[in-house]
Structure 1
Amino acid sequence: MSEEVGRTAQSGWEVGVSRTLPYSGARLWEFLLGREGVEVWLGAGVELPRERGEAYETANGITGEIRSFHEGTRVRLTWRPKDWDHDSTLQLTVVGQGRRSTLKFHQEWLADAAERAEQRAYWKDVTERVAAALAER
């Protein structure tokens, strides 16, 4: 029996990336949901909706809709770049731990191992860009 890393029976191919940052959960959440932060992780040209079922589209063609929104901790949405033929599900989570917090991206329903590897690299880069943007503030 061969087990493929990153493939589950429940959610297909998936990937998770996390990083602990030296900011409170409230500060990290405020940044991520503000215009500058949304641009870093979701894309330019969109304000993230807060209500379930609301659609969004970024300037570079990423589309989706909100699945759930829990103020201060988690947003779950569909995520589909314009060159993909399928939706994926993305969850952004902030876990506050006093003066530090952990930023987590979890993406499900990826097409295959190659797309999983691409998205792993993408979300790692996003966490680096979030950390850099916060350090400049």
Structure 2
Amino acid sequence: MSDATGKTKDAGWEVGVRTTVAAPVPAVWQYLVGDGLDTWLGDIDSLPTETGAGYVTKDGVKGTIRSRTENVRLRLSWQPSDWPHDSTLQLTVKETITGTTIGIHHEKLADRDERRMMLGHWKNIAAAFDRHFG
């Protein structure tokens, strides 16, 4: 059923994108939570480290840190200013033979159109990660 691609029983619509870069996990993690924040989250000075802390980017994306495991996973709520609902965004890093795989998983999307839009968005972000570490 291709019409239901990305539809889950419990989390609404979702999308996942991965890329593997030629850098060690600690370097990739430091980039994602440091200088690379602007690349994937938006213009923000820093991301809180504690669970439950809120954040707002300069372009209006807001959310809350749900969990953070250093060098493994960052899970947060994510809501652009023009969305009437929040969603859940998760970034993971995992060591591979050739470097580090960065996984982006976005769930609780409203519908197929929102999923399609976010798939394109996260593919562009993954390509930016590739360029940075390339």
Paired residue secondary structure (1:17):
strand
CA distance in 2, matches of 1:102, 1:61: 28
Residue 112 of structure 1: how far off its partner (Å): 0.2
RMSD of aligned C-alpha atoms?
1.5
CA distance in 2, matches of 1:101, 1:56: 27
TM-score, reference length from structure 2: 0.94
| Equivalent pairs, count | 134
Q: Contact between 1:25 and 1:97, CA under 8 Å: does it hold in 2?
A: no
Other-structure match for 1:76: 75
Paired residue secondary structure (2:44):
coil
- Following superposition, which runs of at least 4 residues in structure 1 exceed 4 angstroms of deviation? none
CA distance in 2, matches of 1:4, 1:87: 21
Other-structure match for 1:126: 125
Q: Which amino acid aligns with 1:95?
A: K
TM-score, reference length from structure 1: 0.92
Over the matched positions of the two proteins, sequence identity in percent amounts to: 42
Uncovered stretches (5+) of structure 1, i.e. residues with no partner: none
Other-structure match for 1:43: 42
| Aligned pairs (5 A) from 1:52-67 | 52-67=51-66
Residue 130 of structure 1: how far off its partner (Å): 1.8
